[in-house]
Amino acid sequence: MDKMTLVLRTLDELNHYIPRCSVQCEKVSKWTVGMQIEHCILGTRGICNAIVHSKPHTGKIKKGLLRRIIFLTGTIPRGRGKAPDASLPNEEITESGLRELLSKAKLSVQQAAESNYECWWAHIRFGVMKRDEALKFVEIHNKHHLKIISDILSEANQRN
């Protein structure tokens, strides 16, 4: 399955949770389900837009140990990173707002997937990632937050 399809699949899964956007469980995360979703959407759009607007990368790409582990395992350790300001969610989230952002994110993914495979995005800690690797990172990142959402909802259900 291609990278675009895998990213779009995570966005579809996020869409499934939009009706539960106000659920929060501070034991799992300070963010609500909606904030988790918005963060994923903002991150997806930011990465994809960077790919679309980049010129093909010709330099050497350095891959550190943590980056290799994350790509090998397909998981991101919890509580280790800090979201960049551009992907920080708004506390005033609505279902309709999330759906609108989600449709824009899907378009961004399609545009990134159609760009030159040498186009790139730079992560603050993991460095330059060419298109396919950046899309793989989006998938891993979104799955990380889908797991957090699942844990929030499980904890919230146990309390009720």
Judge contact between 134 and 109, C-beta under 8 A.
Answer: no
Show pLDDT as tens, one digit a residue, over the chain (160 residues).
Answer: 788 899 999 999 999 999 999 999 999 999 999 999 999 999 999 999 999 999 998 888 889 999 999 999 999 999 877 888 889 998 889 999 999 999 999 999 999 999 999 999 999 889 999 999 999 999 999 999 999 999 999 998 887 6
What does each C-alpha distance from 158 to 26, 64, 81, 151 come to in angstroms? Answer: 14, 40, 28, 11
Domain ranges of the chain: 3-19+30-79+87-159
Task: Return the closest-CA partner of residue 17 out of 141, 109, 152.
Answer: 152
Task: Return the closest-CA partner of residue 137 out of 32, 33, 58, 66.
Answer: 66
Give me the phi and psi of 87, to 5 degrees please. Answer: -110, 15
Model pTM?
A: 0.95
Residue 96 is predicted with a pLDDT of 97
CB atoms within 10 A of CB 37: 30
Residue 44 is predicted with a pLDDT of 98
Judge contact between 10 and 40, C-beta under 8 A.
Answer: yes
Residue 116 is predicted with a pLDDT of 96
Residue 160 is predicted with a pLDDT of 62
Residue 60 is predicted with a pLDDT of 86
Q: Torsion angle, CA of 100/102/104/105, rounded to 10 degrees?
A: 160
Protein fold of 3-19+30-79+87-159: Four Helix Bundle (Hemerythrin (Met), subunit A) (1.20.120)
At 47, list the tokens.
Answer: 């990465």
